[in-house]
Amino acid sequence: MKKITSLATLSTDQLNYLNIGLMLAAAAASFVRPFEVFLFAYALLGPLHYLTEISWLHDRKYFTRGRNDYLVLVAFAAIITIADMRLVPNLPATLRVAVTYIAFGSALVFVLIGKLWPKVICFAALIVTSPFIIRMDFFQSLFSVLLPTIVHVLVFTGLFILVGALKSRSVSGIGSLVVFCLCALSFFVVGPASSADKMGEHVKETYQVFAQLNYSLMTPFSQHDLNVPANIPAYVKYINTVLYQSRTALAVMSLIAFAYTYHYLNWFSKTSIIQWHNIPRSRLIAVIVIWLASIGSYAYDYRFGLRWLFFLSFTHVLLEFPLNHLSIINVGREFKAIFNSRAPLQRPEKA
């Protein structure tokens, strides 16, 4: 079966310098127009990222030990989709928290364990402990909102940059990680470059569906204790008062826009390293067709596009969990190797 060959081959140094440029560009755009940048990147680059990453993970057997382990994660994504889309009435509100927790724990099991019965025992342990998880506010926020969103696009992206830098013993790789962290912090040090006054009402209305992420990220800043009546969700009040007025809230929005935009750009820039584009031609055509249909759905109605792509989006997050766990393990291994050999960081061409 014929596969597409790479059009350009970048060295590790060149790729790191390219990504530094992409970080700075994404940060600059997020300073100026955070809401618009996020909505544009999410609709245009998001679907293509979901499709190409799932394809790439499939060719690498999803980094699990079992041949069909990934089907369990897909099933979890389907359950969460059913719950969020309210396709089945009267499902408990904490179902998404419990299922995401079990999926995240199961992914670690799939990375470490190959035999069936130990997997079953670990899976049962996750189910038994899930009622305790859903009662804690921190874990409710982590597994229902933060893990599938900002942790996925910001924390794990930084983790991948760190793994690459350690494996290549690359000065430019460490430099790219430093720039990445500085870009993330800059929004709170420098502050947003624009206010929500320049936004159109259509942008505000479109973004409302994402506002719960902003609300969750604002919790450490204690800026949304709004004394909201019990019958009104707190984040709804937050949308109308804090989100477009608070300087800190705008900085949080800039961070979100940067994290998502660079997450996508980082993925597409790695053509010469991970070869995500090197797929059968028939699959490539399917990816392009679905991507164009997805763009069309967002253009027709943004909320319709979100509903159309929710399952695909959440599936790609859950299918990446084994790779996330493996990356954490690899960071430990690389640090151990560095400390044992006391090998200094070098430029890739000299390593």
Confidence label for 4 from pLDDT (cuts 50, 70 and 90): very low
Q: How many other CB atoms are there within 10 angstroms of residue 233's CB atom? A: 12
Full-model pTM: 0.89
pLDDT, position 238: 63
pLDDT, position 131: 95
Tokens for 305?
Answer: 């596009």
Instruction: Find all residues with CB under 8 Å of 179, minimum gap 6, and list them.
Output: 20, 23, 24
pLDDT, position 103: 98
Strands, E assignment, 200-344 = none
Closest by alpha carbon to 55, among 345, 280, 305, 342? Answer: 280
Q: Degrees (nearest 5) of the Cα angle 285, 289, 293?
A: 170
Confidence label for 12 from pLDDT (cuts 50, 70 and 90): confident
Could you report the per-residue pLDDT of 125-166, keeping only the tens digit for each?
999 999 999 999 889 999 999 999 999 999 999 999 999 898
- Res. 192: pLDDT tops 50: yes
- Res. 226: pLDDT tops 90: no
Tokens for 235?
Answer: 């984040």
The SS3 call for residue 223 is coil
pLDDT, position 5: 38
pLDDT over 70, % of the chain: 87
pLDDT, position 209: 87
